Structures are given as C-alpha cells and as structure tokens.
Structure 1
C-alpha cells in the first residue's frame, strides 16, 4: 500500500526539497506541499511536471490522486510571512 511517507521519500530522492509534507491515509488520495529551488523560473504546470517525473510509474500505477501546492523557497517564505 502506498503511504504518504513513501511518496515523500520518492519525491525527495529525485527532487531537492527545502521543505516537503505529504498527507493522506487512504492509500490512494494524497496532498502535498513541496518547496524546491528546482521550481525557480517554471510555471505551476512545469513545477507539477517535475513532481510527476520524480514519482514516475507510481503516478500511473499506485497513486490515484495527488493534489499539490508547489513553491520556490522565496514564494514559500512570502506565503508564510503573509499569514
């Protein structure tokens, strides 16, 4: 069964993350917040594509749904301080 921890591990193994949190406990539907320098200069679609690439076949075979919010470190800091 897929776990939030296993998804987090797969993402971190491929994508350098400043901060990451994956949640979900039904084995199929997950949500994630991912902060990475690799997102710099990329559109939201481009950022999400990097995450999908990091997960590879797991997205097609094991993970039914993954909603995510992606940020560069600068965007993350701005979002955290504006709340």
Structure 2
C-alpha cells in the first residue's frame, strides 16, 4: 500500500522510508502537497524501459496515408479534439 509522508519525516528517518519504498511507492509531500515519489530501483527501471513507438509519416506508404486521411472520428468523440484545437467542440 502506498504511503504518504512529509519531506521532514523522510529527512529524519530516510532508511526506514527507503525500505518501505522497496515494497511500495512512498509519496513525499511538501507544504501539504505531493511533490516527489520514492520508488524501488526495479520499478524505476521498469518505468524507464517502457518504449514509445514513434513512426515518421515519411515512412508510411501512400496507401497507409490515404487510409489515415480518409478516417473519421466516431460520433460522440468530438470532445477529444479539444486538446488539439484548444477550443470546445461545440464552439
């Protein structure tokens, strides 16, 4: 179970929180707000290994580009455009 502690508490007893983080993440707060997370090295390595696949549009075939250009958003998903346009879909 993830625990939440103050930065002052971690400073006073780092070894104990280091051991706790080997089992579960420890959220460290500053001024009452979450600021950092102490995690096991193995968890850190697992997170950094997650590959993001990136394909360049220049590597796509003409047929693949045509399929993408002809695609349409399903009804009811217009709200997803908000992040792209900065406007509400109803605007």
Structure 1 and Structure 2 fold alike (TM over 0.5)? no
Q: Tell me the TM-score normalized by structure 2.
A: 0.29
Q: Tell me the TM-score normalized by structure 1.
A: 0.31
Instruction: Kindly name which structure, 1 or 2, has the bigger radius of gyration based on alpha carbons.
Output: 2
Query: Higher relative contact order by CA 8 Å / sep ≥ 6: 1 or 2?
Result: 1
